[in-house]
């Protein structure tokens, strides 16, 4: 996880990205629905997660929780929750990522944002905590897509229309937000 006490200097952010890099991230990026039959290394998933953690969220709350689903058996468990239009591509993808959010992300603020004083107000206002968790967890999902696009050896597709009603994403006691199911 990023050190929340580190502050970037102007020299850290002074160089603009090359046009080719911007095109890969945005203007030339496309959603893929067909995938090569090759495995994705767990190390790559770890590097993508490490990158997305650096993306800004409200108070550095990092409410996103990610489940990397890799094996056919694990994907079968997703089948009932998938929209018909996403079923075939989800089952064929080498990795499917469930992007969720932790409604009690504020329990980790002492670690992720040591100077934050918002824990008590978020505990007292569950509707506000949910709104912040949803907005910023979704944002972290977008950071994951951008991290994957930035890697020359990976592609990212997004699926909407899946519903995980009744599921309750959990986080580890240390606040780590990524799990891999093989």
Tokens at 2, concatenated: 């990023």
Closest CA to 64 of 164, 140, 171, 143: 140
Q: Is the pTM of this model over 0.85?
A: no
Write out the DSSP string of 94-162.
Answer: S-EEEEEE-TTGGGGHHHH-TT---HHHHHH-HHHHHHHHHHHHHHHHHHHHHHHHHSTT-------S-
Helices vs strands, H then E, count in the chain = 7, 3
Range of the domain at 97: 17-181
Residue 85 Cα to chain centre, angstroms: 22
Predicted confidence (pLDDT) per residue in 89-116, tens digit: 999 999 999 999 999 999 999 999 999 9
In a domain, 45, yes or no: yes
In a domain, 111, yes or no: yes
Do residues 149 and 155 lie in contact, with contact meaning Cβ atoms separated by under 8 Å? yes
Positive or negative CA dihedral for 102, 161, 78, 157? Answer: negative
Predicted confidence (pLDDT) per residue in 33-53, tens digit: 788 888 889 999 999 999 999
With a cut of 70, list the residues of the chain below it in pLDDT: 1-13, 152-182
Neighbouring CB atoms inside 10 A of 35's CB total 14
Contacts of residue 180, Cβ cutoff 8 Å, sequence gap at least 6? 42, 45, 67, 68, 70
So what's the pLDDT on residue 35? 84
So what's the pLDDT on residue 162? 45
In a domain, 10, yes or no: no
| 128-132 contacts, C-beta under 8 A, 24 or more apart | 129/103, 129/104, 129/105, 130/103, 132/58, 132/61, 132/63, 132/105
So what's the pLDDT on residue 27? 92
DSSP, collapsed to helix, strand or coil, labels residue 69 as strand
Tokens at 180, concatenated: 């891999």
- How many domains is the chain built from? 1
In a domain, 9, yes or no: no
In a domain, 167, yes or no: yes
In a domain, 109, yes or no: yes
So what's the pLDDT on residue 152? 59
So what's the pLDDT on residue 98? 93
Do residues 159 and 89 lie in contact, with contact meaning Cβ atoms separated by under 8 Å? yes
So what's the pLDDT on residue 175? 39
In a domain, 11, yes or no: no
CATH number of the domain that residue 84 is part of: 3.40.109.10
């Amino acid at each position: 996880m990023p050190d929340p006490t580190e502050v970037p200097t102007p020299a850290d952010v002074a160089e603009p990205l090359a046009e080719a890099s911007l095109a890969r991230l945005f203007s030339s990026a496309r959603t893929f629905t067909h995938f090569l039959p090759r495995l994705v290394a767990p190390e790559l998933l770890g590097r993508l997660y490490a990158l997305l953690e650096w993306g800004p969220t409200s108070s550095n709350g990092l409410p996103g929780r990610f489940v990397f689903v890799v094996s056919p058996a694990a994907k079968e468990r997703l089948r009932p929750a998938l929209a018909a239009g996403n079923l075939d591509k989800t089952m064929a993808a080498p990795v499917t990522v469930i992007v969720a959010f932790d409604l009690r992300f504020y329990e980790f603020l002492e670690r992720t944002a040591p100077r934050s004083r918002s824990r008590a107000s978020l505990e007292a206002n569950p509707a506000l905590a949910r709104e912040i968790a949803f907005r910023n967890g979704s944002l972290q999902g977008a950071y994951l897509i951008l991290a994957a696009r930035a890697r020359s050896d990976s592609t990212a597709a997004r699926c909407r229309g899946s519903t995980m009603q009744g599921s309750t994403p959990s986080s580890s006691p240390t606040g780590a937000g990524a799990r891999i199911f093989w």
